[in-house]
Amino acid sequence: MTTLFISDIHLDDGRPEAFEWLRAFLTGPAREAATVYILGDLFEYWIGDDAPPVGARRLARATAELVESGVACYFLHGNRDFLLGDDYAARARLHLLPQSIVAPLYGMPTLLLHGDTLCTDDVEYQAFRRQARDPAWQAAILELPVEQRLRMAREARDASAQHTGSTAMEIMDVNETAVKEAFEAHGVTRMIHGHTHRPAVHRHDLADGTSAERIVLADWYSTASYLELTAAGARSVTL
């Protein structure tokens, strides 16, 4: 059996093709897997479980059916859908994960995370992240009227696009020191994450002389792909 990974789908009611790609994944390759991990940014934005996008209701049925077929499905929050909560997760039959977790995959402990915590050179974003992950801040936001939250989400998305367009890619990519510290703090030599939209397999030489592997997942803006992991290794598959 295989373990599959996806991230950065950025589902939005204005991009129906992404929902169709994901439906094809959930009813196709995912049905042959033992486990599916969604490593953040499943949605373009999420303003609360009380106001899901139209497509999110269809998706909840699809993921619930996947789980009912015997496939475990895990979700780890990204920088766009950090407000996704227990109510929607229960409807979608998603197991919510902490911001990082070490999973014992085929005899190799593997660090799984969204990837934004590794981008420490982007000081502006890290300041926002600290605020956005604060439980008190989240509770206050979720008390606001739906229309106000929706307007804030759209403004945040526009601000993010402007920030991305005006910030050097090197700043928004992972920081090498942060990557090595994550490997060493968790005692692993393999890491899988998304967020940067720069799919690749990287090698890192750690302080103790060991070599570590970091696999970066692709986004689903122009094409859909997933990472397939087995005892034999990892490979990227285009849907």
Q: Is 80 helix (H, G, I), strand (E, B) or coil?
A: coil
Query: What is the structure's pLDDT at 167?
Result: 57
| 28 CB burial (10 A radius; 0-12, 13-18, 19+) | exposed
The answer, yes or no, to whether residue 163 has pLDDT greater than 70, is: no
Q: What is the mean pLDDT of residues 160-167?
A: 64
The phi, psi pair for 106, rounded to 5°, reads: 55, 45
3-state helix, strand, coil in the chain (%, to 5): 40, 25, 35
Beta carbons of 172 and 92 less than 8 angstroms apart: no
Q: What is the pLDDT of residues 170-227, one digit of tens each?
A: 556 899 999 999 999 999 999 999 999 999 999 999 999 999 999 999 999 999 999 9
Query: What is the structure's pLDDT at 148?
Result: 96
Q: What is the pLDDT of residues 92-111, one digit of tens each?
A: 999 999 999 999 999 999 99
Place 236 in a pLDDT band, splitting at 50, 70 and 90.
very high
Place 113 in a pLDDT band, splitting at 50, 70 and 90.
very high
Place 159 in a pLDDT band, splitting at 50, 70 and 90.
confident
Q: Name which of 231, 28, 218 is nearest 115 in CA terms.
A: 218
What token pair was written down for 115? 């990837």
Question: In Å, how far are 6, 25, 37, 110, 165 from 20, measured between CA atoms?
Answer: 15, 9, 19, 30, 28
Give the percent of the chain with pLDDT over 90.
85
DSSP 8-state assignment for residue 11? B
Query: What is the structure's pLDDT at 14?
Result: 87
DSSP 8-state assignment for residue 231? T
Q: What span, in angstroms and rounded, lies between the C-alpha atoms of 194 and 236? A: 13
* Residue ranges of E strands in the chain: 2-6, 33-38, 72-76, 95-97, 100-105, 108-113, 190-193, 200-205, 211-216, 225-230, 233-238
What token pair was written down for 17? 């093709």
Q: What span, in angstroms and rounded, lies between the C-alpha atoms of 231 and 11? A: 31
Residue 11: CB atoms within 10 A of its CB come to 24
Query: What is the structure's pLDDT at 162?
Result: 74
Query: What is the structure's pLDDT at 166?
Result: 47
What token pair was written down for 56? 């999110």
Q: Where are the domains of the chain?
A: 2-238
More confident residue, 159 or 109: 109
Give the percent of the chain with pLDDT over 70.
96
For strands 95-97 and 72-76, give the pairing.
parallel
Q: What is the DSSP string of 94-138?
A: PEEE-SEEEEEETTEEEEEE-SGGG-TT-HHHHHHHHHHT-HHHH
- The average confidence (pLDDT) of the chain is 93
Q: According to CATH, what is the number of the domain 2-238? A: 3.60.21.10
* pTM of the predicted protein model: 0.93
Q: Name which of 128, 27, 17 is nearest 71 in CA terms.
A: 27
Q: What is the mean pLDDT of residues 54-81?
A: 95
Q: What is the pLDDT of residues 122-157, one digit of tens each?
A: 998 999 999 999 999 999 999 999 999 999 998 888
